[in-house]
Chains A and B, each alone.
Chain A
Amino acid sequence: MSVVAEKELRVVGFLCNWCSYGGADTAGVARFKQPTDLRIIRVPCSGRVDPLFVVKALLTGADGVLVSGCHPRDCHYTDGNFYARRRLEMLKRLLPFIGIDERRFHYTWVSASEGQKWQQVVAGFTNRLHQLGPLHAKKENEG
Chain B
Amino acid sequence: MRVGVFICHCGNNIAGTVDVARVAAETRKLPGVVYATNYMYTCSEPGQEEIKQAIQKENLDRVVVAACSPRMHENTFRKTVEKAGLNRYFFEMANIREHISWIGEDKELNTNKAIEAVKMAVAKVMNDKPLYSSSFKVNKRVMVIGGGVAGMQAALDCADGGLDVVLVEKSPSIGGMMARLDKTFPTIDCSICILGPKMVDVAQHEKIKLYAYSEIEEIKGYVGNYQVKIRKKATYVDWTKCTGCGACMEKCPTRNAYDHFNFGVAPTRAINIPFPQAIPKKAKIDPTFCRQFTKGKCGVCAKICPTGAINYEMEDEIVTEDIGAIVVATGYGLFDLDKFPEYGAGRYPDVITGIQYERILNASGPTSGHILRPSDQTEPKTVVFVSCAGSRDKSLGVPYCSNFCCMYIAKQAILTKDHVPDSQSYVFYMDIRSPGKGYDEFTRRAQEDYGVKYIRGRVSRIYPKGKKMVVRGADTLLGTQVEIEADLVVLATAVISAPGAANMAEKLHISYDTFGFYVESHPKLRPVETNTSGVFLAGACQGPKDIPASVGQGSAAASKVLSLFSKDMLESDPAIAQVNINACVGCLKCVKTCPFQAIKEEVLRSGKKVAKVIETVCAGCGVCTSTCPCGAIQLQHFTDNQLLAEVNAICQS
Contact = CB atoms under 8 A, between A and B. Distances in A.
B69 A28 contact: yes
Given A3-B112, A53-B644, A76-B531, A48 B650 contact: no
Which of A10, A21, A50 has the most chain B CB atoms closer than 10 A to its own CB? A50
Given A41-B646, A74-B511, A50 B626 contact: yes
A111 to B, nearest CB: 6
Interface stretch (B101-109, B168-176, B374-382, B453-461): B101-109
A44 B621 CA distance: 6
A83 B313 CA distance: 43
Contacts of B109: 4, 7-8, 36
Contacts of B511: 18-19, 70, 74, 76, 111-113
Contacts of B652: 60-61
Interface residues of B, number: 60
A100 interface: no
A28 B103 contact: yes
Interface string A6-45: 0110101000011101101101110111111001111111
Nearest to B595: A78
A11 B414 CA distance: 61
Interface of A is mostly: loop
Interface string B103-120: 111101110110111011
Interface string A46-84: 011111010011001110000000100111111110010
Given A57-B650, A111-B511, A42 B506 contact: no
A98 interface: no
Contacts of A41: 120, 643, 646-647
B88 interface: no
B595 A12 contact: no
Interface residues of A, number: 58
A140 B621 CA distance: 41
Contacts of A101: none
Given A24-B98, A113-B513, A44 B651 contact: no
A60 B509 CA distance: 36
Interface string B610-653: 00000000011111011100000001001010011011101111
A135 B513 CA distance: 37
Nearest to B619: A77
A130 interface: no
B70 interface: yes
A17 B116 contact: no
Contacts of A79: 595
B113 A39 contact: yes
B77 to A, nearest CB: 15
B99 interface: yes
Contacts of A22: 71
Contact of A77 (B575, B595, B648): B595
A103 interface: no
A46 to B, nearest CB: 9
A73 B502 contact: yes
A36 B640 CA distance: 26
Interface of A: 1-4, 7-8, 10, 12, 17-19, 21-22, 24-25, 27-29, 31-36, 39-45, 47-51, 53, 56-57, 60-62, 70, 73-80, 83, 87, 111-114, 119
Interface of B: 26, 69-72, 95, 97-100, 102-106, 108-110, 112-113, 115-117, 119-120, 502, 505-506, 509, 511-514, 519, 531-532, 575, 593, 595-596, 619-623, 625-627, 635, 638, 640, 643-644, 646-648, 650-653
Closest CB pairs A-B (n = 4): A28-B98, A48-B622, A61-B651, A77-B621
23 contacts: A1-B116, A4-B112, A18-B531, A19-B511, A28-B102, A35-B104, A39-B116, A39-B120, A42-B70, A43-B622, A44-B635, A44-B638, A47-B623, A53-B644, A56-B651, A57-B651, A61-B651, A61-B652, A61-B653, A77-B621, A83-B626, A83-B627, A113-B519
